[in-house]
Every structure is written in structure tokens, then in C-alpha cells.
Amino acid sequence: MSCETSVRLERNINKIMHAWEQRTLREIVASKYEGSVALRDSLPEYLGQLAKALSKTLDHSDASKKLDKDESTRVGKKHGKERAKSINYTMDQMIKEYHILRQVLCEVLEEDAPLNQIEREIIICSIEQAVNDAATQFSESLSSLNDQLNEEKQLRDKFVASLSHDLRTPLTTIKMIAQMLAKKSHGPEEIIKTSARIVTAVDRVDTMIQDLLDFTHFRVGEKLPLNLKVCNLNNICQTTLDELIVIHGNRFVFNAKEQFNILSDCDACRRIIENLATNAVKYGSKSTPITLSLSRKDSTLEISLHNDGNPILAQDLKTIFEPYKRTASAENGTQQGWGIGLPLVRGLAEAHGGFVKVESGVDGTTFTVSIPI
């Protein structure tokens, strides 16, 4: 007996959607700031399911049974999840969207003929089911987002503590040297050496700050700025390794079968190599060499850094390039870390139009940065 109403609903789907959207924009201020409306996007399917329920339901007791629960649950959950992500929406505003939909449905369908009791019951059951699903998902999503915020706060606290520790070390060195110079007289040779130590310490601080600034750009979704010019990557690799050898000892091997003069940001390439090499020093085997390689693959340059040692766990490989994330072994170990080195490598690689990947197993761990040339 609801077949005519079902046909009427299918014929007026676009009209119902337009009327609902206009009223929502007019009555719910938060909706004006949303670029995507999950309920609107799913309305054609939802109204189609409602039309089927209206065409098949025979009596009052069948109203809730005949509704396609899977479909309406999907619509409600999608809508609730989207609204929970919005800083503008509250749960009561989301529920009001469904109240408006119920009113619009009844108004449009009754333009030609009044709805009977069973038809109204079907519409109300459908709306209530969608509201319940949306409200449940809204609450669950808010709880999940709150957990994520708490986790990120803990990660940021660790990051700040680690950053403070790392910045204090070179600053303490600068202070001690300055105090020594103030108290004692030194010959020219010793002054030159002492000055070089100050410059090195200041350079370390400058590098840390630059990494932090670039990481901030990357963290908020901005592409890292590049200063492009022709760079001799072989020289950059060797110079960077020479500087690291002074700090970590002669643990590095450099392999390149040809010279690579490429258009890139020379300092960015240096920092990619330095971050990967420092990571290998921290977490790789202490008794075997760390190998840096340059090679050509089709139209890309590959910068690869390999170290032996325990493989990275599969679950850690999935998040290793995410901000503040550190592997389980790193968290349980004694090495200090910010959790931004590898994300920064990723950001610098992507700024060049490339990418970074990692492979880890019993034969060791290899990070590979691919840059178009």
C-alpha cells in the first residue's frame, strides 16, 4: 500500500536533497564552514533504501525489520565520523540535520497526498536508526581523536626534552671555551684550534635549528623550500662522511660508479645523508662498516645507506617516517632522539620530487632516497 509513496519519493529525491541542504545551511551555522557533507553525499543511496522499505513494508511491526540496516548504518556512521572531525559541529547540531531531513521528507511527500500512519512510522524508524548510528560513531570518533591528541602530546613532550638535551651540549661547549679564553692567555695556534671548536659547536646548533624549522614546515603540510643549483653529489657525500668520521670514527664506506652533477639543493642533500648516516650510527651494528652508495636507476638518482644490525620490526616499518615516531628498539635503548630525522629525510626527498623507502631484514637495513634527474 506504500508503493505510490515509494514512487513519489524516488521521483523527488533531488528536490528533497535541495530543500534539506538549503534549510541546513540556513538553520545550522556550522554547516556553512563545511566543504564536504557526508550525509548529503550519501542521501541518494539512503533515500533509495527508504523508498524500497516503503514499497515492501506491509504492517506496523515490519517497519523496523524491513529497513536495510547495513545501508543506513553505513550512512549514519560515515556522517557521525565526519562531523566529529569538524571543529564547528556539536552532536546536537548533527542530530538536528536528521530532524530537518525528517521534516523535509514529510513535507515533500505530502504535497500530493498525506502519509498514513505506517508510512510515517517507516520514515521515523529509518531516521532514528541513522541518528543512533551517527551519534554512536560521533562519540567513538571523539574518543579516538582524544586518545590521538594525548598520544601526540606525550610525543611532543619527549621531543622537547630530547631537543633541550641536544641543544644544551654544544651550547655548554661554547660557554666552557669562552670561559677558558677569558681566564687564560693562549698562543695563536691554540686560539685557532679553540675558535674552530666554537665554530663547530655553533654549526651543530644551527643545523639542529634548521632541521627543526624545516620539520615544522613539513609537519603542517607545507613543501620544504629549496635553493636549487648544480651540485656535485659525490663531493657532498665525501665531505659529509669526512665530518662524521671526526665524530664517530672511520666507520663509513662510500661507493659511486660515476660522477653525479645534478640540479638540487646542495645543503638539503647533505642533510639527507647526515641524517641517514647518523641514524645508522645510532641503531646499526657497531662492528661493521656503514655503506653510502650513489647509483643511477633509469631517470632517477638513488642515494642508499646500508648498515648491519638487528632488523627493524614490521610494525615499526609502517610508521618509521612519521613525525615523533621511534622504533620499539630505539625507545627501549639508550640513544637519545628527536623522532624528526627520518621524517625530515622524507620531506626533503619529496621536496625534490622524489621519495624515500626502507628495507630491513637479516642482511641489514637499507634506506634509499630516489630523486629525479
DSSP for 205-232, written as a single string: HHHHHHHHHHHHHHHTTPPPP---EEEE
Phi/psi region, residue 180 (left: phi>0; alpha: psi -120 to 50; beta: rest), is alpha
Rounded CA separation 251/249 (Å): 6
Are the C-beta atoms of residues 123 and 102 closer than 8 Å to each other? yes
Are the C-beta atoms of residues 58 and 121 closer than 8 Å to each other? no
Rounded CA separation 31/17 (Å): 15
Confidence of residue 169 (pLDDT cuts 50, 70, 90): low
Residue 284 has pLDDT above 80, yes or no: yes
Rounded CA separation 124/57 (Å): 14
pLDDT (tens digit per residue) in 114-125: 888 888 888 888
pLDDT (tens digit per residue) in 335-351: 555 567 898 899 999 99
Mean pLDDT of 131-151: 79
**Global confidence as pTM:** 0.52
Q: Give which of 93, 17, 76, 96 is closest to 67, Cα–Cα.
A: 76
Residue where the block lists cell 500500500 = 1
Torsion of the alpha carbons at 135, 141, 143 and 146, rounded to the nearest 10: -140
Mean pLDDT of 249-269: 94
Residue 307, number of CB atoms within 10 A of its CB: 23
Residue 178, number of CB atoms within 10 A of its CB: 12
Mean pLDDT of 318-323: 85
Rounded CA separation 327/313 (Å): 8
The DSSP 8-state label assigned to residue 334 in this structure reads S
pLDDT (tens digit per residue) in 190-226: 777 767 767 767 777 777 777 777 776 666 666 778 8
Mean pLDDT of the chain: 80
Q: Give which of 284, 361, 350 is closest to 321, Cα–Cα.
A: 350
Q: What b-and-e string marks burial along 255-289, b requiring 16 or more CB atoms within 10 Å of the CB? A: ebeeebebebbbebbbbbbbbbbebbbbbbeeeee
Rounded CA separation 242/231 (Å): 18
Confidence of residue 93 (pLDDT cuts 50, 70, 90): confident
Mean pLDDT of 353-361: 95
Least confident of 141-150, 262-271, 353-362: 141-150
Confidence of residue 1 (pLDDT cuts 50, 70, 90): very low
Residue 137 has pLDDT above 60, yes or no: yes
Confidence of residue 92 (pLDDT cuts 50, 70, 90): confident
Residue 218 burial (CB < 10 Å; 0-12/13-18/19+)?
buried
Confidence of residue 162 (pLDDT cuts 50, 70, 90): low
Residue 161, number of CB atoms within 10 A of its CB: 12
How high is the pLDDT of residue 183? 64
Rounded CA separation 84/88 (Å): 9
How high is the pLDDT of residue 268? 92
CA atoms within 13 A on the CB side of 339: 22
Percent of the chain with pLDDT over 70: 75
Rounded CA separation 225/212 (Å): 14
Rounded CA separation 93/86 (Å): 11
Mean pLDDT of 323-340: 61
Mean pLDDT of 244-261: 91
Residue 241 has pLDDT above 90, yes or no: yes
Mean pLDDT of 38-64: 69
